[in-house]
Amino acid sequence: MTIGILGGGVWGSALAKLFSDQEVLIYTRDKKVMNSINDHHFNPKLKYATFNDNVKATDDLKSITKKSLIFIALPTQNIREVLSNSYFQNLNADVIIASKGIEISSSLFLSQLVESLIKPKSLSILSGPCFSDEVAQDLPTAATFASSNSSIFDTISRMLKTKKFRIYYSDDVIGCQIGGALKNIYAIAAGISDGLNLGENARSALITRSFVEISRFAMFFKSKQETIFGLSGLGDLMLTCNSSKSRNTNFGIKIANIKHKNFEKELDKNAITEGYYTAKAAIKIASENNIEMPILESVFNILYNEFDIEEEIKKLMSRPLTIEKIN
């Protein structure tokens, strides 16, 4: 089977390494990345990974659409632009979404967004606690593979020659996307907590209550409990909130003590901090559907409304005492 990967960033390149027993073609707009992969067998953005001769790169989008299996590893807010290209109108491929987030302009989950733009043979989600550099190093990793078509799960399982990357099947396509999208927002909150030296007690409480908010959000969309308590939910939240590798956590640490309130200029130009953008999409959904998510609301107010961080913490700690529950 031939594989196309939309996205020449670290995650797209890690996926290319993972499936490099097959013929893999990576699409990237960055000619330096393309030339580096083709001429020197590595992506300068991704440490610890060199590719074999099966992996090539291109800046020709049309060539990707001819592949029988396509992974989407693009920044969430760029997916519509790429898939709106006329090359995708007669696509005859199985598509796997490996990006995480919610489109801001439409409030659509990525499976809904993709299905509104193209008609793939099948559509699946790959999500879980997966740092790109560790996948590229063939370190032990597990993830959820969600699809309404179990046969594509079997196909992907057979293609995974390494025993170090394990996937678990789910038919909960929407639920599998929720944890992966929202955890980035709460990682920013965890980073703010670290940046202010609020302590381990505060971190533990914050992550636990963040999981409650993710669960409420998931329950509204009738997601399965095992999905939210699994790799793509609790597992991804724990990794992202507790690791110094997390872009979102590091962003939270960075903004905790800076004087200005224009946090957008603190974003890393070379790596997408998805939580910053997902907060805007998630708060709209939560507000419209009366889903109680006070931590999300505070993060959004800090990022976009110039609310004082210390005052938001006081507000969260001053909420009325209540029974510990999700709904």
pLDDT confidence tier of residue 270, bands split at 50, 70 and 90 = low
Q: Are residues 127 and 28 in the same domain?
A: yes
Q: Which of 297, 153, 136 lies closest to 216 in space, CA to CA?
A: 297
Q: How many domains does the chain have?
A: 2
Looking at residue 269, its pLDDT comes to: 65
Q: Are residues 103 and 153 in the same domain?
A: yes
| Tens of pLDDT, residues 94-121 | 999 999 999 999 999 999 999 999 999 9
Q: Are residues 102 and 229 in the same domain?
A: no
Q: Are residues 154 and 111 in the same domain?
A: yes
What distance in Å separates the CA atoms of residue 103 and residue 113, rounded to the nearest whole number?
A: 8
Looking at residue 271, its pLDDT comes to: 74
Is 91 a member of any domain? yes
Instruction: Identify the DSSP state of 266.
Output: G
Is 326 a member of any domain? no
Higher pLDDT, 268 or 315: 315
Contacts of 52 (CB under 8 A, 6+ apart): 20, 41
| Tens of pLDDT, residues 140-174 | 999 999 999 999 999 999 999 888 999 999 999 99
Last residue of a domain, one of 144, 171, 198: 171
Is 325 a member of any domain? no
Q: Are residues 85 and 197 in the same domain?
A: no
For 5, the enclosing helix (H) or strand (E) is strand 2-6
Looking at residue 288, its pLDDT comes to: 97
Q: Are residues 190 and 303 in the same domain?
A: yes
Is 130 a member of any domain? yes
| Tens of pLDDT, residues 33-85 | 999 999 999 999 998 889 999 999 999 999 999 999 999 999 999 999 999 99
Q: Are residues 200 and 241 in the same domain?
A: yes
Strand segments (E) across 54-140:
55-58, 69-72, 94-97, 122-127
Last residue of a domain, one of 171, 192, 209: 171
Average pLDDT over residues 210-238: 97
Average pLDDT over residues 301-319: 89
What is the strand order of the sheet 69-72 is part of? 55-58, 23-27, 2-6, 69-72, 94-97, 122-127, 141-147, 165-170
Higher pLDDT, 163 or 294: 294
Mean pLDDT of the chain: 93
Query: For the domain that residue 206 is a member of, what is the CATH number?
Result: 1.10.1040.10
Average pLDDT over residues 306-317: 88
The mean-pLDDT minimum among 72-76, 245-249, 263-267 falls in 263-267
Q: Which of 123, 102, 9, 89 lies closest to 57 in space, CA to CA?
A: 9
Are the C-beta atoms of 87 and 65 separated by less than 8 Å? yes
Maximum distance among all Cα pairs of the chain, rounded to whole angstroms: 61
Average pLDDT over residues 121-146: 96
| pLDDT above 90 as % of the chain | 83
Asked if pLDDT for residue 317 goes beyond 90, the answer is no
Asked if pLDDT for residue 26 goes beyond 90, the answer is yes
Is 77 a member of any domain? yes
Catalytic residue ranges: 183
Looking at residue 303, its pLDDT comes to: 94
Looking at residue 5, its pLDDT comes to: 98
| pLDDT above 70 as % of the chain | 98
| Tens of pLDDT, residues 178-195 | 999 999 999 999 999 999
Q: Are residues 49 and 160 in the same domain?
A: yes
Looking at residue 140, its pLDDT comes to: 96
Is 327 a member of any domain? no
Domain that holds residue 201: 181-317
Is 323 a member of any domain? no
Looking at residue 7, its pLDDT comes to: 96
